[in-house]
């Protein structure tokens, strides 16, 4: 139904609070860019080019999770995300999943999105592109997400860090109920054609 992807978010971790954050950045080192794309008919993309944070009064991306370390290579993350468009409409929801590391400072996250909603009638990219926010099915939506970052000097949530480049991607899926309704509607339409 909908996908999003952002690169070069500014990632940080505080060992005292166990909070991992990744937020949009517009610095010489980290220039966030990405998009939010409606995959359901009619497909369209809201664009976020490097520098959007400085050009837009509202557009932003925030990911925040509390991290619980399970072992030296695995941790859980639970929190929330929000993606704000150019005029203040928000795509937001809950996120939960698992961080893993194969070592060498590489950390990847795979998780589920839940309670996802989108406000407003349209979702407008700060750098062009817009789509009708009325997605198929009823809110809230569910989905999946992946993230990746590489921590210079290694480590796995055992020290504070900031300004680490984070990639954040996700996709919303139709709820099981809306799939059933779409399937039932298709069967009724097929039956009526005969």
Domain ranges of the chain: 2-193
This prediction has a pTM of 0.89
- Per-residue pLDDT 10s for the chain (194 aa) are 999 999 999 999 999 999 999 999 999 999 999 999 999 999 999 999 999 999 999 999 999 999 999 999 999 999 999 999 999 999 999 999 999 999 999 999 999 999 999 999 999 999 999 999 999 989 999 999 999 999 988 889 999 999 999 999 999 997 665 444 444 444 444 444 44
Mapped to the 3 state alphabet, what secondary structure does 171-191 carry? Answer: EEECCHHHHHHHHHHHHHHHH
- Residue at token pair 């899926």: 173
Tokens 């996700």 belong to residue:
170
| 171 bridge partner residues | 3, 144
Give residues with Cβ within 8 angstroms of 108, minimum separation 6.
99, 100, 101, 146, 147, 148
Name the percent of the chain in helix, strand, coil, to the closest 5: 10, 55, 30
Q: Rounded to 5 degrees, what are φ and ψ at 97?
A: 180, -155
């Amino acid at each position: 139904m909908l996908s999003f992807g952002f690169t070069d978010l500014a990632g940080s971790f505080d060992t005292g609070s166990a909070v991992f954050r990744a937020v949009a950045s517009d610095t010489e080192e980290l220039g966030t860019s990405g998009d939010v794309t409606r995959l359901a008919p009619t497909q369209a993309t809201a664009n976020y080019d490097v520098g959007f944070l400085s050009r837009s009064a509202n557009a932003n991306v925030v990911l925040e999770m509390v991290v619980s370390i399970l072992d030296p290579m695995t941790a859980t993350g639970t929190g929330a995300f929000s993606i704000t468009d150019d005029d203040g409409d928000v795509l937001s929801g809950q996120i939960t999943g698992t961080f893993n590391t194969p070592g060498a400072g590489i950390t990847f996250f795979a998780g589920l999105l839940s309670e996802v909603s989108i406000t407003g009638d349209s979702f407008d990219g700060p750098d062009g592109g817009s789509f009708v926010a009325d997605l198929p099915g009823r809110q809230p939506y569910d989905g999946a997400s992946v993230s990746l970052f590489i921590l210079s000097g290694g480590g796995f949530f055992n020290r504070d860090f900031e300004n680490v480049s984070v990639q954040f991607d996700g996709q919303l899926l139709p709820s099981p109920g809306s799939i059933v309704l779409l399937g039932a509607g298709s069967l009724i339409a097929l039956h009526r054609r005969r």
